[in-house]
Amino acid sequence: MSLRRLKAVAKKEFLHIVRDWRSLTLALAMPLTMLLLFGYALTLDVDRIPTYVYDWDQTPQSRELIQQFRGSRYFAILDSVNNYGAIERGIDTNKVLMGIAVAKGYSRELLAGREADVQILLDGSDSNTASIALGYAQTIVESYAAKLRSDAQVRLGGGELKTIVDPRIRVWYNSDLKSRNFIVPGLIAVTLMIIAAMLTSLTIAREWENGTMEQLLSTPVRPAELVLGKLLAFFSLGLLDMLICVLVGVFIFQVPFRGSPWFLLFTSCIFLFGSLCWGIFISATVRSQLLAYQMGMLSSFLPAFLLSGFIYAVGNMPQVIQIISYAVPTRYFVAIINGVFLKGVGWKALWLETMLLSIYALIVFAAAIRKMRLKVA
């Protein structure tokens, strides 16, 4: 391999990137736009759940129960209604997600020490949100019931009711349980995969369509030098995109950064190298820019978004899909970047993901060189 020829190919690509200011602007603006758009729009937090209340009992005890829901940040009581039909219409028209119905005789049963009925009506069309809302409602009702039992025990002279187990929950790494702290680092990985594949998926196909590939083939440039030379130019652009994304995540979205920036830089370089090589492989496989773009988007966006664990936990997927996800590099980088951002871990905890990411990069690099050699031949 000649460093002189490698430098010449890299210089050619740098000049092409600088002169094509529209593509350069798009390459720098797209990651920022995607991060801001998805970072603000995409959230897994469930709070301020719109709720109707049907208090059939109309007693101080029933009103005290309703007040527990009013005081919670997870529920927003929109209105008090007089029948089940109003709750049904509210759910049908998407005005509310949940209805709380306190049965008539609730206070009488409660004061007599018997089981008192409280009905929770949920819109199950969004099963994930409904299950989370049901969990919040059950927690409020159970906590209120435990308080009532303790108060009753005190009134009967038996002393304060004590539980056998006193659970004390401590949440590590994301104590406020903000979904943004999990989404933004994963979004950085997904964005880089898409941008890297798009940047390089057009480069070889463009050479064929513009007729300049024949000129390159007439030079002594070898396939490995051609691949590496093109990668160097786009690699620098990818690192700049990575820096922009990290700064936006830390300073705009206020995501805590607890790990080593050098380890993140090292793993980002491996990830970018593999992603860019994949784009080169696609570009060398087809000679049409349109087809290369479509293949790049299809093979980068969908797997990175759906099979990386960014949104959906891989462990909850069917076994066959879990096996397929091992071939998605974003799966490993999402785990790495979340570990660096939130947990502050490094090589000791993430060595396996780093090694698998390196193996993927080497395999794709070898495949790109082989495909280029076949095209040249």
In a domain, 92, yes or no: yes
For tokens 């943004």, name the residue: 180
Query: 358, 195, 368: which is closest to 277 by C-alpha?
Result: 368
Give the end-to-end CA distance of the chain in Å, rounded to a whole number: 18
Q: E strands of 10-104, at which residues?
A: 49-55, 75-80, 98-102
Worst-scoring range by mean pLDDT, 63-67, 191-195, 329-333? Answer: 191-195
CATH number at residue 119: 3.40.1710.10
pLDDT in tens, 90-109: 999 989 999 999 888 888 88
My answer on whether 151 and 249 are in the same domain is: no
Share of the chain above pLDDT 70, in %: 89
Range of the domain at 115: 49-155
The runs of H, that is alpha helices, within 20-76 are 21-41, 60-70
In a domain, 60, yes or no: yes
My answer on whether 25 and 60 are in the same domain is: no
For the segment 24-32, the average pLDDT, to the nearest whole number, is 78
Distance CA 263, CA 337 (A): 10
My answer on whether 198 and 334 are in the same domain is: yes
My answer on whether 31 and 65 are in the same domain is: no
pLDDT in tens, 30-45: 788 888 887 887 777 7
Distance CA 261, CA 157 (A): 61
My answer on whether 37 and 111 are in the same domain is: no
- Beta partners for residue 53, in sequence order: 80, 100
Q: What's the pLDDT score for residue 332?
A: 93
In a domain, 33, yes or no: yes
SS3 (DSSP) at 55: strand
Query: How many domains does the structure of the chain reveal?
Result: 2
In a domain, 172, yes or no: no
Share of the chain above pLDDT 90, in %: 20
My answer on whether 81 and 189 are in the same domain is: no
Kindly state the tokens that stand for 197.
């594949």
Query: 18, 36, 15: which is closest to 27 by C-alpha?
Result: 18
Q: What's the pLDDT score for residue 356?
A: 94
